[in-house]
Amino acid sequence: MSDYKKPVVWRWEDENENRAGNRPTAGSRFEQILPKGEKPLQVYSLGTPNGIKVTIMLEELKAAGLNLDYDLFNINIGQGDQFGSDFVALNPNSKIPAMLDQETGIPVFESANILLYLAEKYGKLLPKDIKQKTEVLNWLFWQTGAAPFVGGGFGHFFHYAPTEQEYPINRYTMETKRQLDLLNQLLAERPYVAGQDYSIADISIWSWYGRLVKDEVYPGAAAFLDAFAYPHLLTWAEKIAKRPAVQRGLAADYQFI
């Protein structure tokens, strides 16, 4: 229970002048010149569940023999780099990851969209057949809609919130476990998320859910969520974790800006 009573109009009274602090407004907060390398793909990111999707994908493409290369820059979201003018020009939503394809001049943001862009550009990890492709996209889009309940909901109240609060923890644990059960049932029937083949849907979902059940996102969460209750999900998570490109994607070397 709390004594909080909602006002009629919510206002942010304690305006935080710290450039990294949360604010109820969007847009650039300061002038910034981001470094740019010579390689075709410029990636501005961080080793978070959304960020690792991109480095894993790039390493998978390299492992498949494609001739591509990328410069990888560290965006320190704790210091507010995502609110600088150059980053906002790439991604007006001020979230990592963002990518610039210097061969086409196209900026790309939203991690799942970066996966899709790369899969289409290089012709890998996304089937051409409409039925199979749609099944990959079903699960890719599922991840983008589902994971905020894990990250912004469960993870926030389990790991980051300053106090332990029963109501939001129950609400988001319920939903997170429902999602884990869904994936466990799916992976009981097929080796990969969208069927017989590894795809961008696996990269996208593993980066959140695979790592969550391996206790690599929020310490203690695997026990709290009883990850052993999802054996098919765990088997799949281990299988993906063993892929050399996944390991290289996780160990990617970021240049500091």
Ligand X SMILES: N[C@@H](CCC(=O)N[C@@H](CS)C(=O)NCC(=O)O)C(=O)O
Binding-site member from 34, 56, 96, 221 for ligand X (CB under 6 A): 96
Nearest residue (CB) to ligand X, 146 versus 234: 146
Q: Is 95 in the site for ligand X (CB under 6 A)?
A: yes
Q: How far is the CB of 131 from ligand X (least distance, A)?
A: 26
Nearest residue (CB) to ligand X, 96 versus 237: 96
* CB proximity list for 56: less than 8 A, separation 6 or greater: 203, 207, 245, 246, 249, 250
Q: How far is the CB of 51 from ligand X (least distance, A)?
A: 6
Q: How far is the CB of 15 from ligand X (least distance, A)?
A: 16
Q: Is 241 in the site for ligand X (CB under 6 A)?
A: no
Binding residues for ligand X, how many (CB under 6 A)? 12
223 residue type, one letter: A
Q: Is 55 in the site for ligand X (CB under 6 A)?
A: no
Q: Which uninterrupted H or E stretch holds 169?
A: helix 166-189
36, 105 in Cβ contact below 8 A? no
Over the window 62 to 91, marking each residue x when it contacts ligand X by CB under 6 A and - when it does not, the resulting string is ---------------x----x---------
235, 187 in Cβ contact below 8 A? yes
CA separation for the pair 77, 83 (Å, rounded): 9
Nearest residue (CB) to ligand X, 110 versus 197: 110
The angle that helices 166-189 and 231-241 make with each other, rounded to 10 degrees, is 80
CA separation for the pair 148, 175 (Å, rounded): 11
Nearest residue (CB) to ligand X, 112 versus 186: 112
Nearest residue (CB) to ligand X, 98 versus 233: 98
Three-point CA angle 191, 67, 74, nearest 5°:
80
* CB proximity list for 234: less than 8 A, separation 6 or greater: 213, 214, 227, 228
Over the window 179 to 218, marking each residue x when it contacts ligand X by CB under 6 A and - when it does not, the resulting string is ----------------------------------------
By CB under 6 A, the residues from 129 to 188 that bind ligand X are 144
- Which of 57, 69, 59 is CA-nearest to residue 119? 57
By CB under 6 A, the residues from 12 to 51 that bind ligand X are 48, 50
Binding site for ligand X (CB under 6 A): 48, 50, 77, 82, 94-97, 110-112, 144
